[in-house]
Structure formats: C-alpha cells, structure tokens
Amino acid sequence: MSNESESELAELKLRLHHLQDESDIHRLIDQYGAALDEKRWDDWEATFAEDVVTDYPWGHNEGRAGMGKKAGDLLIEFPVTEHLSGNVLIDIDGDKAKSRRNVWIICVRDDDEPGVHFTEGGVYTCEHVRTPRGWKFSYIRLDIKWTVNGAPL
C-alpha cells in the first residue's frame, strides 16, 4: 500500500470515529428525553457521569446520585410529558464534547382541558465525557426562554 493510500485510510478512520462519536452523543440526548417522558428515572439518571454538574431552573446539583428521584418529584403532577430537541450542535474534542440544542417541553396534568397544558421552551448547553460505559453528560444547563400556562419548572 502506498503512503498516500495509508494516509487516506487513516483519514477515513478518523472521520468514521468522529461520526460514531457524534451519533452516540445524539443517541444520549434522545435517551435523556425518552427516559424523562417514560418516567424511567434510573435510566435518566444513568445518562449522567458520576460527577455531573447540573444547572436547571429548579436548582443546581453536583453528582448524579438522587437526580432521578428529584426529577420524579418535580414532574409528579404531570403524568404526560414530551421533551422535543432540535437544532442540535455537537463539538467533539477527543474524549470530551460540547453540545447545544433547543428544547420544547410539553407537560400535561390529568385535569388539563384539551389543548390547555403547560409548555416551555429553551436551550440546553451541555458538556459530555467519554466513559467506559459510553458518552455521558458531565454538565447540563437549561435556560428556559418562554412558557405558556405557568412558570418555568
């Protein structure tokens, strides 16, 4: 194999590795939202690194232990939620990455009239770390930009 072919192959391997990392982080983001909506608190908590730092409108937290219970307590009045993410941007640097995404969160109470429910939208700014168990969130900040029918959660 020529030096040029070896170089091209090495470049293709790097590209493939980068694309796989990007795909894995997208999947992590989707797992985060799906676990929240399906009330799978242990699975949601498992998307975080052990030493995660979170800044949500409802408070600052360091470490993932107990995060699932906090989310369950916060969302108990909403048997139905839907977290939709879009405009996801990911910047990978080795075993660390940063992401930014828009979010639209719909929360429905049992006694809500049809078409009348709490909704909020905002921006997640996150950092990720590669662990032996895959990519995890190491930092999350949620900035709520707007709400309908209630104050930010």
Distance CA(15)–CA(23), nearest Å, equals: 12
Is the entire prediction scored with pTM above 0.85?
yes
Q: Quick one: pLDDT band at residue 2, thresholds 50, 70, 90? A: confident
Tokens read off for 55: 């800044």
Tens digit of each residue's pLDDT (9 = 90 or more) over 52-90:
999 999 999 999 999 999 999 999 999 999 999 999 999
Q: Quick one: pLDDT band at residue 149, thresholds 50, 70, 90? A: confident
Instruction: Kindly list the distances between the CA atom of residue 35 and the CA atoms of 16, 27, 30, 88, 96, in Å, as whole numbers in the listed order.
Output: 28, 12, 9, 18, 23
Distance CA(92)–CA(19), nearest Å, equals: 10
The boundaries of the domain holding residue 31 are 3-148
Q: Quick one: pLDDT band at residue 5, thresholds 50, 70, 90? A: confident
> What is the full DSSP assignment across 78-111?
-SEEEEEEEEEEEEEETTEEEEEEEEEEEEE-TT
Tokens read off for 9: 């192959």
Give domain status of residue 153, yes or no: no
Give domain status of residue 73, yes or no: yes
Tens digit of each residue's pLDDT (9 = 90 or more) over 99-119:
999 999 999 999 988 888 999
Q: DSSP alpha helices (H): ranges in the chain?
A: 3-37, 41-45, 67-74
The tally of domains found in the chain comes to 1
- The enclosing domain of 53 has a CATH number of 3.10.450.50
